[in-house]
Amino acid sequence: AYNFVLQDHLFEPNYGWSLPAHLFMVSGWSARCTHPYRARSCTPNLRNPDFSDKLAPKAPSYGWTDLTYMLHRHHVSWAYYVQGGAQPDCDNAEAMVCGGKKQGAGTPEIWNPLPDFVTVHRDHQLGNIRAASRFFSAASRGNLPAVSWIVPNAAHSDHPPSSVAAGQRWVTSLVDAVMRSPEWKSSAIFLSWDDWGGFYDHVV
């Protein structure tokens, strides 16, 4: 495996649902803030990290520093690519089944938490949250940002009852796009899943 390695011990950040895992992916922490604009009001929370929209409708929920803050401060380009469609996760962490929710680059949701970070708003970086279709065109031109996240929709997420084969085909298309890119020789790709379950053996 000169170019590719399969990880055989996958340590997940929390034994739980998707939102905390996506927060870990972009910030290294899952917390709940009693005041969204005061980082010191945030405390670790793996079950229900969302700030109440009843207290501040349409206000950002997350007041702590995320990874994009550090990238922006050090003039490192980044983008968070979101595949349009639906996400299968429930807003209620205790719910077992719920209808899919619409997701897109401009929709703050469980799989797209960055629009809910105060730092992303203050740094005027919302434009870096983009449709996944733009990833392919950027890769073909050699214009990918230095750091990119790519999030699937429900159909390509390997999330039951979606087809695992469909998810694998989508991931293959992403990797192929990078391999055909002029930037391939200086690229590193990390593939990860957001939940405690799945089709690979996780280590708890």
Q: pLDDT tens digit string along 78-97?
A: 999 999 988 876 666 566 56
Predicted confidence (pLDDT) at residue 199 exceeds the cutoff of 70: no
Report residue 107's pLDDT band, with 50, 70 and 90 as the boundaries. confident
154: helix, coil or strand?
helix
Beta bridge pairs of residue 109? 112
95 to 47, 52, 82, 156: CA distances (angstroms): 12, 18, 24, 22
CB 100 within 8 A of CB 154: yes
Rounded Cα–Cα distance for residues 40 and 80 (Å): 26
- Listed in sequence order, the residues at least 6 apart from 129 whose beta carbon sits closer than 8 Å to its beta carbon are 79, 80, 82, 105, 106, 112, 114, 115, 120
- Listed range (53-67, 112-126, 171-185) with the worst mean pLDDT: 53-67
Domain ranges, ordered by start, for the chain: 13-203
